[in-house]
Amino acid sequence: MHFIIPIFIIIPAAAFLLSLLIPAKKEDALSFLTFGAVGTQLAISIAFVVFWLFQGADVINVKEMVIFRTAHYEFFIDFYFDGVTAVYLLVGTLLTFLITIYSRYYLHREKGYKRFFNTILFFFLGYCIAIFSGNLETLFIGWEILGISSFLLIAFYRERYLPVKNAVKVFSIYRIGDVGLILAMWMSHHLWHENVTFCKLSQELLEHPLIEQQTLIGIFISLMILVSAMAKSALFPFSPWLPRAMEGPTPSSAIFYGSLSVHMGVFLMLRTFEFWESQISVRIIIGLVGLITSAMAAPTARVQSSIKAQIAYASIAQIGLIFIELALGLRWLALFHFAGNAFLRTYQLLVSPSVVTYLIREQFYHFTPRKQSVEDSIPKRIEYTIYMLSLKEWNLESMLYRRLWNPMKAMGRSLSFLTVNRVLAFLLPVLLIGAFLVFNKSYVPSGILSYLPAMFAIIALSMMLKAFTDRKSVRVSWVLIIMSHCWIALAISFNERFNFTDVMLYLSGIIGAGIIGYASILRLKKFEKHVDLTRFHGHVFEHPRIAMVFLLACLGLAGFPISPTFIGEDLIFTHIHENQVILAGLVSLTFIVDGLAVIRIYARVFLGPHSKTYHETAHRSS
Q: State the amino acid at position 175 in one-letter form.
A: R
Contact yes or no for 534/477 (Cβ under 8 A)? no
Confidence at residue 510, expressed as pLDDT on a 0 to 100 scale: 92
Confidence at residue 614, expressed as pLDDT on a 0 to 100 scale: 66
Number of neighbours of residue 71 by Cβ within 10 angstroms: 6
Confidence at residue 246, expressed as pLDDT on a 0 to 100 scale: 87
CA dihedral 441, 444, 447, 452 (to 10 degrees): -80
Q: What is the pLDDT of residues 507-525, one digit of tens each?
A: 889 999 999 999 999 999 9
Confidence band for 171, pLDDT divided at 50, 70 and 90: very high
Question: What is the rounded CA–CA span in Å between residue 465 and residue 477?
Answer: 10
pTM comes to 0.93
Q: What is the pLDDT of residues 542-595, one digit of tens each?
A: 899 999 999 999 999 988 888 888 888 888 888 888 888 889 989 999 998 999
Q: Does the pLDDT of residue 326 top 90, yes or no?
A: yes
CA 510 to centroid of chain Cα atoms: 20
Confidence at residue 471, expressed as pLDDT on a 0 to 100 scale: 82
Q: What is the pLDDT of residues 133-167, one digit of tens each?
A: 988 889 999 999 999 999 999 999 988 888 999 99
Helices marked H in 414-529: 420-422, 428-439, 446-449, 452-469, 474-493, 500-527
Confidence at residue 361, expressed as pLDDT on a 0 to 100 scale: 65
Of the candidates 528, 509, 622, 525, the one whose C-alpha atom is nearest the C-alpha of residue 567 is 509
Q: What is the pLDDT of residues 396-418, one digit of tens each?
A: 888 888 888 888 888 888 877 77
Q: Does the pLDDT of residue 9 top 90, yes or no?
A: yes
More confident residue, 304 or 230: 230
List all residues 6 or more positions away from 394 whose beta carbon is below 8 Å from its beta carbon: 296, 300
Q: Does the pLDDT of residue 215 top 80, yes or no?
A: no
Question: What is the rounded CA–CA span in Å between residue 151 and residue 115?
Answer: 13
Confidence band for 216, pLDDT divided at 50, 70 and 90: confident
Q: What is the pLDDT of residues 306-321, one digit of tens each?
A: 888 899 999 999 999 9
List all residues 6 or more positions away from 101 whose beta carbon is below 8 Å from its beta carbon: 35
Q: What is the pLDDT of residues 238-292, one digit of tens each?
A: 998 888 888 888 888 888 887 899 999 999 999 999 888 888 999 999 999 999 9
Confidence at residue 522, expressed as pLDDT on a 0 to 100 scale: 93
Kind and range of the H or E run holding 60: strand 60-69
Looking at residues 190-211, what average pLDDT do you find?
68
List all residues 6 or more positions away from 310 whose beta carbon is below 8 Å from its beta carbon: 301, 302, 304
Q: Does the pLDDT of residue 208 top 70, yes or no?
A: no
Q: The dihedral of CA 590, 224, 233, 343: what is its sign? A: positive
Number of neighbours of residue 364 by Cβ within 10 angstroms: 8
More confident residue, 106 or 225: 225
The DSSP letter of residue 424 is I
Q: State the amino acid at position 262 in one-letter form.
A: V
Confidence at residue 189, expressed as pLDDT on a 0 to 100 scale: 82
Question: Would you tell me the crossing angle of helices 27-54 and 83-106 to the nearest 10 degrees?
Answer: 160
Q: Does the pLDDT of residue 207 top 60, yes or no?
A: no
Confidence at residue 336, expressed as pLDDT on a 0 to 100 scale: 94
User: What are the residue ranges spanned by the domains of the chain?
Assistant: 2-362, 414-606
Confidence at residue 206, expressed as pLDDT on a 0 to 100 scale: 52
Q: What is the pLDDT of residues 585-622, one digit of tens each?
A: 899 999 989 999 999 999 999 998 887 766 667 677 76
List all residues 6 or more positions away from 340 whose beta carbon is below 8 Å from its beta carbon: none
More confident residue, 352 or 349: 349
Confidence band for 225, pLDDT divided at 50, 70 and 90: very high
Contact yes or no for 134/196 (Cβ under 8 A)? no
Confidence at residue 18, expressed as pLDDT on a 0 to 100 scale: 95
Confidence band for 89, pLDDT divided at 50, 70 and 90: very high
Contact yes or no for 333/265 (Cβ under 8 A)? no
Question: What is the rounded CA–CA span in Å between residue 541 and residue 532?
Answer: 17
Confidence at residue 205, expressed as pLDDT on a 0 to 100 scale: 45
Confidence at residue 601, expressed as pLDDT on a 0 to 100 scale: 95
Q: Using CB atoms within 10 A of its CB, is residue 532 exposed (0-12), middle (13-18) or buried (19+)?
A: middle
Question: What is the rounded CA–CA span in Å between residue 130 and residue 140?
Answer: 7
Which string of DSSP letters, residue by residue, matches 278-336?
Answer: T-HHHHHHHHHHHHHHHHHHHHHHHT-SSHHHHHHHHHHHHHHHHHHHHHTT-HHHHHH
Q: Does the pLDDT of residue 213 top 60, yes or no?
A: no
List all residues 6 or more positions away from 480 whose beta carbon is below 8 Å from its beta carbon: 418, 420, 423, 463, 464, 466, 467, 470
Question: Would you tell me the crossing angle of helices 215-232 and 280-302 to the nearest 10 degrees?
Answer: 20
Q: What is the pLDDT of residues 132-141, one digit of tens each?
A: 998 888 999 9
Q: Kindly report the average pLDDT of the chain as a whole number.
A: 87
